[in-house]
Structures are given as C-alpha cells and as structure tokens.
C-alpha cells in the first residue's frame, strides 16, 4: 500500500512508521490521520510484524499537532464525526506492541498519538504538551483521558488547563515517557526495546498487553480475575513448557507462539 505522508520501513519483525511532513513539523492533517488508520489496519494483518514503532522524520518534530487552518474550517457535524479519536483507539487496541519514538515536538494530536502507543521513548530535545485550550478547544483525540491515566488527574489538569509544554526530562519524571535518550537516538532506542520484547514468548506478550489494558479500565478485583484466567490459558501453551524448560536447562528459549 502506498502512502503520501507516511514512510514504512520493515526491519525483521519491526516496522518503523514515520510521519513524513518535515516541512510543517509533521503536522497531522486529515490525510495523515487517514493514512495512520490505514497503516494500522495493514500492520495489524501482517503476521510478520510484531512491533510497530511510530516516529516523525527529522529531529525537530515527532508531530507538532493539527493543521490549525483546517481546524478553523471544521463544522460542528465534522467535529462530532471526526475519526481522529477512533483512529487512536484503534491504534491503542492493536494486538502488537507499539512504541512512540519521540524526536522534537509532540504537541496536541502528536502528543495524543504518542500516548496511544504502549511505550514512549523520547529524545532529550523532545517537547510534549496539550496546548489546545490556547485555541479555545480541548484535546479531542483521547488526550483528556489517556493523559489522566498516564500521569494522574492532578498533573493532567495542570498540563491541559495551562497548556504548558514540558521537556523530555519532566515527561520522564511524571511518567509520560518511559525513557529519554540523546538526540537522534530515539528510533534506535525504540528498536532495542522492541528486540527485548521480541525475545519473549509472543503469545504471552499479546496476552499480557491485553490484561494490562483491560485491567487499567476496571476494578482491581475484575482485573485480578482477568489475570488469573490469562495465566491459566498461558499454562496450556507450548511456549510455557519451552520457557520453563529452557530456564532449567540454562539455555535461550525458542518460542513458537503456540
């Protein structure tokens, strides 16, 4: 599938998806949002891909937000039926691990895109924020909800209500990003993280991601039931036998995803 605003690079079981609009700091216009949805569907169906890394071309921006001129022209009906929120919900629910490699600005929709990923690696020059209230609107692609779940209600209110843009170090401190690396190394660091994940039992990775996602949106008791059922399922797999046997035999396990 051809894309105008995205570049897809396949590296074994890893696919790096780069937003390729450096002339506008990788701003997310309607066409780019649509291509992100298409790429998500494509990679979901690709059994050869186990980890998806999302980034932006260049060192200045991951994605610097929305196309403001287009926002000004958007009608009430278009806003209600806008698919950006659904696109990121689809990305968040994909049954592969997703990692945002944040280089430079990740503002507005760019920050929301990063938050929809499972993990976030940021360059030291990264700047993150939800400045939508400066425009008289609010984060509308999941920002009010995902930011709260990542950093807590108090910090989320502070960042959204003030529109403050924070650096990578503070984002790491509050839990918005998982790791901070030197400028230019975000994608490579994301690949290294991906390789650690790929060394694990593939079915266990998918199940663990699902339990973490489901459990974070339910009560502790319900989450514990999900965990117990998931563990029971994993105990019936070939990978469980291989993993335990390899550990006892002091060798590297060879998982087959069954």
Kindly list the catalytic residues. 112, 132
The token pair at 86 is 């659904």
> CA triplet 63, 138, 179: central angle to 5 degrees?
40
> CA triplet 7, 12, 15: central angle to 5 degrees?
30
Distance (Å, whole) CA 147 – CA 109 = 12
DSSP 28: B
Q: Are strands 97-102 and 61-63 parallel, antiparallel or unpaired?
A: unpaired
Count of H-run helices and E-run strands, the chain: 12, 10
**Cβ atoms < 10 Å from Cβ of 142:** 22
In whole angstroms, how large is the CA radius of gyration of the chain? Answer: 19
**Cβ atoms < 10 Å from Cβ of 81:** 9
CB 62 within 8 A of CB 126: yes
**Cβ atoms < 10 Å from Cβ of 254:** 9
């Amino acid at each position: 599938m051809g894309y105008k605003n995205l570049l897809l690079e396949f590296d074994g079981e890893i696919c790096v998806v780069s937003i390729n609009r450096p002339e506008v700091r990788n701003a997310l216009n309607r066409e780019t949002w649509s291509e992100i949805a298409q790429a998500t569907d494509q990679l979901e169906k690709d059994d050869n891909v186990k980890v998806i890394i999302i980034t932006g071309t260049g060192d200045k921006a991951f994605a610097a937000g929305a196309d403001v001129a287009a926002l000004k022209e958007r009608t009430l009906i278009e806003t209600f039926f806008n698919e950006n929120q659904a696109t990121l919900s689809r990305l968040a629910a994909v049954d592969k691990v997703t990692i945002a490699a944040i280089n430079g600005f990740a503002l507005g929709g760019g920050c929301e895109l990063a938050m929809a990923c499972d993990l976030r690696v940021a360059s030291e020059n990264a700047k993150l924020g939800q400045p939508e209230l400066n425009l008289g609107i609010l984060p509308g692609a999941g920002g009010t909800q995902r930011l709260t779940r990542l950093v807590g209600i108090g910090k989320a209110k502070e960042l959204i209500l003030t529109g403050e843009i924070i650096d990578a170090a503070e984002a790491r401190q509050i839990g918005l990003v998982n790791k901070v690396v030197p400028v230019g190394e975000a994608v490579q660091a994301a690949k290294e993280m991906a390789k650690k994940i790929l060394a694990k039992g593939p079915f266990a990775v998918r199940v663990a991601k699902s339990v973490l996602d489901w459990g974070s949106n339910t009560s502790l008791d319900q989450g514990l039931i999900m965990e117990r059922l998931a563990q029971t399922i994993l105990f019936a797999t070939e990978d469980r036998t291989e993993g335990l046997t390899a550990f006892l035999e002091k060798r590297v396990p060879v998982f087959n995803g069954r």
